[in-house]
Amino acid sequence: MSGAALLGAAARAVLEVGALLRAWRADPAAVGGVWEGSQFKAGADAMAHEALSGRLLAAAPGIPVLSEEDPWPLGADRPGRYWLIDPIDGTASYAHGFPGYVTQAALVQDRAPVLAAVYAPEFDVLYTAARGEGARANGRALPPLAPAPVGTGALTDNTPEPRGIAARAYERFGFTGYLECGGISLKLCRIAEGRARLFVKDVPVRDWDVAAPGLLLAEVGGAVRTLSGAPFDYTGPFEHTGLVGAADEAACAAVAAWYAAAAPERRTDARPGRPVPTPRARSRTGPRANGAT
């Protein structure tokens, strides 16, 4: 299959799975689950994995699928080309009635995402990207992001106001704007759209969280890096410590340098997990309508 055909297949798959996710929200078995550390796991995670991986395998039988729900064996070399999917990014948002979740797939080739499809069902926005060919939202080309000093525009995170490392970055770089948003992917998509300029987190982050939205962001001039400032290279372990997503690479470098220079006791967000957000905190219009991770 050509790259265009594969991107079309991925786009159709996430659209169809997104429709299923909306329907499954009425099923207690789908939205029920438990916290595993800082992540909420719901019944719908496994259901969405089967639905999304099955569609991709049917469209391109020769391309294996690696998923949050079924990753490659630890320590094994990854295939040269594979789908890397996150059936639900923002499961807590999904399970607790908030709109800030997506379903997504990236085609990774030679250790880099080359195609991406991200669908936000509650906003009915399909984001797509192909390496070197730009990014789109519902078919509309996203314009390049203009570089700007860190502190310009809005910082984004999943709480009603900046907390932890987000609060420290907000203060350090002099932000005046803030966008409450949902899961990791949706926040990176909001940066690609120009609605925010920076997202920083110091919790574990996995490759499937960032592969698809990271390509989207790169295609408009932004960047996603680990909290050390290194790029995600899609080799070795899937898990990394933290991330910086920004509207330009210089902002990523500035935030990583600030983090590295900070005293250890200020670098650590002491909250090992987080409580389930209450609907009241997310029921307002505007930025707070975007949900929680």
Q: Could you give the maximum distance between any two Cα atoms of the chain, in Å?
A: 51
Q: Is 157 labelled a binding residue? A: no
List the beta strands (DSSP E) in the chain.
33-36, 39-42, 65-67, 81-89, 102-109, 112-120, 125-130, 135-137, 140-141, 154-157, 177-180, 198-206, 223-226, 239-246
Q: Within a 10 A sphere around the Cβ of 195, how many other Cβ atoms?
A: 17
Give CA–CA dist 10/104, Å, rounded. Answer: 8
Q: Are 50 and 44 in contact (CB under 8 A)?
A: no
Q: Is 193 labelled a binding residue? A: no
Q: What's 124's DSSP letter?
A: T
Q: Is 89 labelled a binding residue? A: yes
Q: Is 219 labelled a binding residue? A: no
Question: Rounded to the nearest 10 degrees, how much is the dihedral formed by the CA atoms of 205, 56, 121, 4?
Answer: 100
CB within 8 A of 222, min separation 6: which ones? 145, 191, 192, 245, 246, 247, 248, 249
Q: Is 209 labelled a binding residue? A: yes
- List binding-site positions for Mg(2+): 68, 86, 88-89, 209
- List binding-site positions: 68, 86, 88-89, 209
